[in-house]
DNA sequence: CTTTGATGGAAAGTATGCTTGACATTTTTG
DNA sequence: CAAAAATGTCAAGCATACTTTCCATCAAAG
């Protein structure tokens, strides 16, 4: 799975720390998502999408197979 | 989080076991999702949505707070 | 050059998603 | 009704999401 999180966050002009704080997760979680170290839970994906006023599919890009 | 998995699966006329097999997860996983014992990973949510030709948001309903 | 703010990333621990296996209960079918 | 199919659910174990703590790097600013 890829995502456009860093791109979208920077468009909004906010830092990883600010986004983390709004979403009530740690800064490392945001950094790890942006750098592809792991995928978000579906709850966090919903929170992120809702915060940016987008659909999950607009931010997270599912790629076939594993 | 709520979901319409059981409803949508039955509309298609397939069993939990058949759906599980197509999605390459266990039957217990499908049963647990339908009965709300836990939420799917985002990868499984994408697989489910793609299988039914729907968006994640059409199947899984996010509810505020925890 | 030194400080400060933003980011990258490792390590260890907790929470949760998912598996296999087993058995009980409900629903369907002959 | 009796057998078979579908579903509910528990337990133990593994994988992964996320946390806290800590340290390093880099850019901007004083």
Q: How far is the CA of A55 from the C1' of D2 (A)?
A: 52
Q: Which long-range contacts (CB under 8 A, 24 or more apart) does A20-27 make?
A: A22/A51, A23/A47, A23/A48, A23/A51
In 3D, which of B17, B16, B12, B59 has the Cα closest to residue B39? B59
Measure the CA–CA gap between A31 and A20, rounded to whole angstroms.
9
State what percent of residues in chain A have pLDDT above 90.
94
Q: Which residue is nearest to nucleotide D19 (CA to C1')?
A: A26
Shortest Cα distance, chain B CAs vs residue A55, angstroms:
8
pLDDT for the residue B4: 98
**Mean pLDDT, residues A27-54 taken together:** 97
Q: Which nucleotides of C are covered by protein (CB under 7 A)?
A: 5-11, 16-22
The model's confidence at residue B66, banded by pLDDT at 50, 70 and 90, is low
SS (H, E, C) A9-63: HHHCCCCHHHHHHHHCCCHHHHHHHHCCCCCCEHHHHHHHHHHHCCCHHHHEECC
The model's confidence at residue B64, banded by pLDDT at 50, 70 and 90, is confident
Mean pLDDT, chain A, as a whole number? 95
pLDDT for the residue B65: 64
Q: The pTM is what?
A: 0.94
């Amino acid at each position: 799975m890829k995502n456009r999180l860093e791109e979208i966050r920077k468009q909004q002009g906010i830092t990883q720390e600010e986004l983390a704080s709004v979403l009530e997760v740690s800064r490392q979680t945001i950094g790890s998502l942006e750098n592809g170290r792991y995928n978000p839970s579906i709850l966090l994906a919903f929170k992120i999408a809702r915060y940016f006023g987008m659909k999950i599919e607009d931010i997270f890009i599912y790629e076939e197979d594993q």
